[in-house]
Structure 1
Amino acid sequence: MENKEMLQHILRYIDENIREELSVSILAEEAGYSPFHFSRIFTKTAGMPAMSYVTRRRLQYARYDLSQGKKAVDAAVEYGFETHAGFTKAFKRCFGYPPSFCFLRTGIMPPCEKDQEYFLSGEEKGEKKMNPHIYEFTPFSVIGYPQRQRKSNVKRTADIPAYWDSLKMDSAALLTKLHDTFTASKHFEISMCYDIDTENGEFTYLLGRGIDNPADYEKMEPDMTRVDIQGGLYAVFSTPPAEDYLVAIQDTWHEILTDWLPGSEFEFDDTRYDFEYYDHRDHDWYFGGKVQMDICIPIRVKEK
């Protein structure tokens, strides 16, 4: 068979046997070539060695499973990694963020045959579509009202807008109180999830007011919590102005994690907080009935 036809067959075979033992010898036998000849053809046609592709594909399947709640240690075993540490290292090298970052974030789409078409054509889905602003944040704080949660239907930061209605808090009244109390700081709001326990699905959700003026700190009340954002380098992604906030946020998170971070010179810095940033664009009068916000991802240059 022709090289491209053979490669299409092998890519399908890999997907169908992604949780089974795979090796150059097994793939070569399926293709009808010697291991040496198969390796040369695969690398020349696909642009990477066969087993490098297998590892990447397994990680893509594992990433989807993690977004659905599977534990990283279980995914490591299921996809043939000898140790949890080895799986974590390979995952971070492939995608630019650790496996734990999939929890409470975007709903990753399951791998599909369409991915193979992009791979064979040399194109990356969504390539170069995103153009975030790389910004150096100065340190600031968030003061607001936290809630410790454990909800199976809330798995990602992108679910925050849909989650507001289920919170046992009057968000509008609390935000009004926060803005009326902290008058010295610039007007902006922060939503964030932190203290995430991936073992039992618990996390803390914070609805807060950004504080960038020290004069506001003394106004903090006993039922409020303060989280300090240490600043540093961030990739800031603005959602497209939209009437449907949830879809715009989910789509933006999806592109960040499946397209931008894996192909970027940066990786997620898990020593700092990610957060969602809301300002005057969050009011529908600004875009004529549509709203916009920013997803802020802490980043650092990938290690060579």
Structure 2
Amino acid sequence: MDWAKRINNVLDYIEEHLDEELDYKTLAQLAYSSEYHFSRIFSSITGVPLSEYIRRRRLTRAAFELQNGSRVTDVALKYGYDSVDAFTRAFKLTHGITPSIAKKGGISLKAFPKLSLQLSIKGDTEMEYRIEQLDYELRIVGIKKPVQTSRAFKTIPTLWNTAKKDGLLQQLKDMAWENPKCTLESILGVCGKEAAILDDEFDYLMGVRYDSNPPNGMETMILPPTTWAVFPNIVDAWRRLYTEWVPTSGYELANLPCIECYYGPGHKPRHELWVPLSKN
């Protein structure tokens, strides 16, 4: 089953259950994907975050029902709002007017139609990658920092600049070569954890692979033996991963975090994105 069909199955399910609580884990299962990666795949392929798409569709339906005579209170409760005030704020943010005004008729409203996906992959630029099998636990030691999801590409470089100024980066460099073990010997940025990145904020771990006890103030993350797809150029890899590589590769992504690897001077490539693969 290709990704276009998977996403369309999810879109159909959402449409049939807009007036019910939608569980993201169920949506991910419908797409034969892990919950961790599904929201990112959805937003990359459709161009809109999953939560925002659901919100828009509910408020579009709500507007139709209000203009057909339904009561504001009934519509608010039907589409999951705890109060009329909360519904009014959301409705006004989308349509520019309050629900009571929308009921009067002759008013311009915004309709966000149901998506239907036809995935077309151009493939005009090759995407270089390799497969790495790490048959042991990956023990990463470092410091976590909160990152706003919408600002990740701006915030993360700032975190590394600060780490360079305050000495953390040099400390990580010294730790990285203490006991070399594999090709994953570099400065690492671990994106999230096992929970899905569905919220506005996630934890970003700046660290290294390290088998000794963590220094004071640092914490440890342990990842199981895993197969990884490795891509040069982190920014380009993130941009193309979910729209080009995942839909056409035949691989499934594991419910583990992706890892950004930053190598030292003279190393080619200078940085890579390691993406976990499931055993399916």
Classify the TM-score, shorter chain.
0.5 to 0.7
> Any residues of structure 2 matched to 1:1-304 within 5 Å, and which?
56-57=7-8, 77-78=14-15, 84=23, 86-91=26-31, 93=32, 97-101=33-37, 108=44, 110=46, 124-126=121-123, 129-138=126-135, 139-147=137-145, 149=146, 151=148, 153-154=150-151, 159=153, 162-165=155-158, 169-171=162-164, 173-181=167-175, 183-186=177-180, 187-195=185-193, 196=195, 198=197, 200-211=199-210, 214=211, 217-218=212-213, 220-239=214-233, 249-270=234-255, 272-280=256-264, 283=265, 292-302=270-280
Distance 1:102 1:221 in 2: 35
Q: Which residues of structure 2 form unaligned runs of 5+?
A: 48-115
Contact 1:134–1:235 (Cα < 8 Å) also in 2: yes
1:70-105: CA deviations, max 9, x gaps? Answer: xxxxx96357688645532232x3xxx435425578
Decide whether aligned partners of structure 1 residues 182 and 110 sit closer, same or farther in structure 2, where only a CA change above 3 A counts: closer
Quickly say closer, same or farther: Cα 1:274–1:166, change in 2 above 3 A: closer
Q: In structure 2, how many angstroms separate the alpha carbons of the residues matched to 1:154 and 1:104?
A: 15
- Whether contact under 8 Å (1:193, 1:206) holds in the other structure is yes
Contact 1:194–1:205 (8 Å) recurs in 2 = yes
Distance 1:225 1:105, change over 3 A: farther
CA distance in 2, matches of 1:135, 1:152: 28
Contact 1:237 1:295 (C-alpha < 8 Å) held by counterparts? yes
Matched to 2:257, the amino acid is Y
Give 1:171 deviation, angstroms: 3.6
Aligned-residue sequence identity (percent) comes to 16
- For residues 144-178 of structure 1, the C-alpha deviation after alignment (integer angstroms, 9 at most, x for no partner) is 1112x2525335xxx2x652315794345212012
Which range moved further: 177-186 or 253-262?
177-186
Counterpart Cα distance in 2 of 1:134 and 1:144: 25
Aligned-partner residue type, residue 241 of structure 2: I
Amino acid in structure 2 at the alignment position of 1:89: Q
For this pair of structures, how many residues does the alignment match? 202
Cα root mean square deviation, aligned: 4.1
Secondary structure, in 3 states, of the residue corresponding to 1:254?
A: helix
